Structure 1
Amino acid sequence: MNFITDDTTIMTAIAIDDEPIALEIIQSHASKVPFIDLKQVFTDAFLATTYLQQNKADLIFLDIKMPDISGIEFLKSLTNAPMVIFTTAYTEHAVQSFELDAVDYLLKPFSLSRFLKACNKAQELFDLRNQRQETSLGYIFVKDGYEQIRVELSDIQYVEASGNYTQIQTDSKLISSRITINDLAELLPKSDFIRCHRAFIVPKKKISKFDRNQIWISEKIIPIGATYQNLQLI
């Protein structure tokens, strides 16, 4: 089970499903996830549309097979759509749901642990989107276990993808986070950081020397990937 901390962001959510029992399960599961505030549930997707026109929601738990409009059609009808976790008894729409940038695809009946995993993914994406505004202040927060660690951009020596983790080496410590290096590359300001390899990002100001194949950050040697050799490093 995840724990809530002072740095945990609460996400507002709604759920849409034509089956009341399915909504009861989502309500029960959501009540056990401390960073989910489930505001409303709807058996009628059109009532949910009216609600969203008047209220903000960060996340929708959305059934796909509904009588009047499918969950996929409903999502396509929204402008500035919130994040979506699809909840369905059918597998055939999984690929299409991810093409619509769904956070996750829960196959009914789903357990509390599987529900929590989807919520954790939504929270990480939500935090990442919010943090893009913080880089102008010179820092970011990254998740390390159950904690959100503040990282000063000026302290970063290099970033390295390592298995399911991304390691951020700072001047004083090594931080391991579940954030992907692709997401971190989007988060870090491109004027100050450069991706030189599929597994490495470096701060331009800390490059001490470089050649065609590698970069030196102090005594650390960072490889330059074949597809990155034409980058402007300085």
Structure 2
Amino acid sequence: MTTLTCIAVDDEPIALDIISKYIGETPALKLLHTFDDALSAASFLRTGKTDLVFLDINMPDITGLDLVRSMQDPPMIIFITAYKKFAFEGFELNAIDYLLKPVQPERFKKAVQKAIEYHDYKTRPVNTPEHALFVYSEYRMVKISLPDITYIESLEDYIRINFRNDKPVMTLMPLKKILEKLPEDQFSRVHRSYVVAHDKIVAIRNKKISLSSGEEIPISASHADFTRKFMP
């Protein structure tokens, strides 16, 4: 079972007590320390191994955002804030999640589960087959199951990951970058704007791919070799 070492940082005593209580009730978490200011937390983080930080954003000395920006290799971060407007900045800093005050126990559990899954993903043995990847969407990290993907579409600076039985996920990432994360034997780029999952293809004709979802994806001239590779 995965156990994450963690600290909690919040200048509000009641909020800090609540987070500490939730951590104590979570077997997968080991609380190393609590802090009521970001400077003390920063000093601690420089001296020890901490997997996860529960970090208040709006603090009087330096903000939680500034604390993360000051670190070369920050641990996983779950931001805590009373103001949803700060969520976007947390997203830019690759936070695992953000929790709105007052933090509810079920929402806390979901955020911790994301941290556990991401930790296991990052520390998996080399050559372990990938069944999922993680992207940032709607200000938090989202786990994407590879078998659920039908195709991925480029929309300027964003990509849209499409599924057969769920709503799409949008993330700020070029198509080339996500293609590097996908197994070559399961996904192919067939157009400058599209990547398709091989097992969702039901037919290829007239330079178009028919998917099991009922959608059609074009094949560009520069990727015409895909047809020969996929259908010998």
Asked if TM exceeds 0.5, the reply is: yes
CA contact (8 A) 2:130 2:183 kept: no
- Equivalent residues of 1:214, 1:222 under 8 A apart: no
Give the TM-score normalised by the residue count of structure 1: 0.64
Other-structure match for 1:202: 198
What one-letter code is carried by the residue in structure 2 that aligns with 1:189? P
- Any residues of structure 2 matched to 1:37-52 within 5 Å, and which? 37-52=30-45
Find 1:84's aligned residue among 62, 69, 77.
77
Question: 3-state SS of the aligned residue for 2:44?
Answer: helix
Which runs of 5 or more residues in structure 2 are unaligned? 134-145, 151-162
**In 2, Cα distance between equivalents of 1:199 and 1:76:** 34
Cα distance in 2, alignment partners of residues 82 and 25 from structure 1 = 22
Instruction: Letter of the 1:225 partner, please give it.
Output: I
- Find the residue that maps to 1:55 and give its secondary structure: coil
TM-score (norm 2): 0.65
- Aligned-residue CA RMSD in angstroms? 4.1
Instruction: Tell me if structure 1 keeps the 8 A contact 2:208–2:219.
Output: no
State the partner residue of 1:99.
92
Matched residues, number: 195
Deviation of 1:28 (Å): 0.8
Residue 183 of structure 2 aligns with which residue?
A: 189
Cα distance in 2 for partners of 1:62, 1:227 equals 46
Q: Find the aligned partners of 1:193 and 1:109 in 2 and give their Cα distance.
A: 42
Query: Unaligned stretches of 5+ in structure 1?
Result: 1-7, 144-152, 167-179
**Superposition deviation, residue 200 in structure 1:** 4.2
Structure 1 pair 73/114, CA: closer, same or farther in 2 (3 Å)?
Answer: same
How far apart are 1:159 and its partner, in Å? 5.1
Alignment of 1:72-221 (within 5 A): 72-131=65-124, 133-134=125-126, 136-137=127-128, 139-140=129-130, 160=150, 161-164=163-166, 187-190=181-184, 193-194=187-188, 200-202=196-198, 210-211=204-205, 212-214=207-209
Distance change >3 Å, CA 208–CA 118, structure 1 → 2: closer
Local SS of the residue matching 1:93: helix
SS in 2 for 1:122: helix
